[in-house]
Amino acid sequence: IFIVFKKNTSSTTSLLVKGKAGGSGSDYKRYHIAVNSGDIFSNEIDDDSIYKAVESKRDFDGNFKIVFTERNGSFLNNHIDGPLADSLNIGSDYGSIDETSSTDLYLGKPSYKNSNYFKGEMSEIIMFKNSLSTYERQQIFSYLAKKWNLTSIIDSDSDGFTDAVEQ
């Protein structure tokens, strides 16, 4: 999942949620992407009442960011502005989100309460069913950086140089 956004609050804000939390059974599997009040980007996956999350600290308030978060095999990965920010091994048998489940997909709000609504601007969301190769991920970061005029902050190929420097 790629998300281009700017957060305009110091409060916790939800970007995308699929599924439910706080119970057990097939409907209680959840994927939650948020930025909390401490500017920590979180990719969380629930499997019944247990959850695991990979969290990445960055300055999100008032700044456009391109984030890519994925479940790739047994890892949850966060990429922020190109490079890998953090990764967590959750095990190959831990949780999954069934795209055919009857649970809704929420943009800008959590599925479980009427607070933490997204405050800011979401410019674009791109979702893929399958994991991307490194090359594919880099190409999409580059495309989004050019499209949204963010090449001065994005390092699509994670080589330590922003895309603007490499053009």
How large is the average pLDDT for residues 63-91? 91
Instruction: Give pLDDT, residue 46.
Output: 76
Mean pLDDT estimate for the chain: 85
Overall residue count recorded for the chain in this entry: 167
Tokens 């095990």 locate to 91
User: Contact 87/73 with Cβ under 8 angstroms?
Assistant: no
3-class SS at 165? helix
Instruction: Give pLDDT, residue 26.
Output: 60
Instruction: Give pLDDT, residue 11.
Output: 84
User: Contact 111/2 with Cβ under 8 angstroms?
Assistant: no
Q: Which of 48, 97, 49, 47 is nearest to 69 (CA)?
A: 97
pLDDT > 60? residue 95: no
- As a whole number of angstroms, the distance between CA 136 and CA 74 comes to 20
- As a whole number of angstroms, the distance between CA 44 and CA 55 comes to 8
pLDDT > 60? residue 55: yes
Q: Which of 32, 106, 26 is nearest to 71 (CA)?
A: 32
